[in-house]
Amino acid sequence: MKKIAIGCDHGGVELKSEIKNFLIKEGYEVKDFGTNSTDSCDYPDYALPVAEAVAAKEFDFGILICGTGIGIGLAANKVPGIRAALCSDTFSAHATREHNNANILTLGQRVVGPGLALDIVKTFLNTEFEGGRHQTRIDKISEIEKKYNK
């Protein structure tokens, strides 16, 4: 079964808990990187360990949640090899796996309700990358990373 790394800031604690429970019930292996408190914190502190673990291929996918899903995704995308995609609908979740081979899904707890969020998670985790011309484009993203990581 796939291994999932999950994390959030204080703006995503409730949705993280819902998603984590769902994934465990479905049989996924889940590691929770926190936060588990609604006390104010800084989303990069939770994005970084999840993104590093996914980039190191310790997990198949990551799921990151903050209020909007934006800040935590911006931070995750600074880690080379990470393709974090913010999805608020199932079409985007499907497309970002097929076309972008996204390895982290980001969600906004203040944007999507728990029912839609779970549908997005299911879609993301069950859609395969198409490869081909999409791999060429991802390779070009890697080239950009290399250009600026000297």
**Mind telling me the catalytic residues?**
66, 99
Find tokens 């490869």 and name the residue.
131
Q: Is 62 in the site for ligand RB5 (CB under 6 A)?
A: no
Stretch near ligand RB5 under the rule CB under 6 A, chosen from 19-27, 61-69, 81-89, 138-146: 61-69
What pairs with residue 66 in β-bridges? 108
Stretch near ligand RB5 under the rule CB under 6 A, chosen from 48-56, 60-68, 82-90, 99-107: 60-68
SS3 145: helix
Taking residue 142's Cβ as centre, other Cβ atoms within 10 Å add up to 12
Q: Is 111 in the site for ligand RB5 (CB under 6 A)?
A: no
| Separation of alpha carbons 97 and 93, rounded Å | 7
Binding site for ligand RB5 (CB under 6 A): 9, 11, 43, 66-68, 70-71
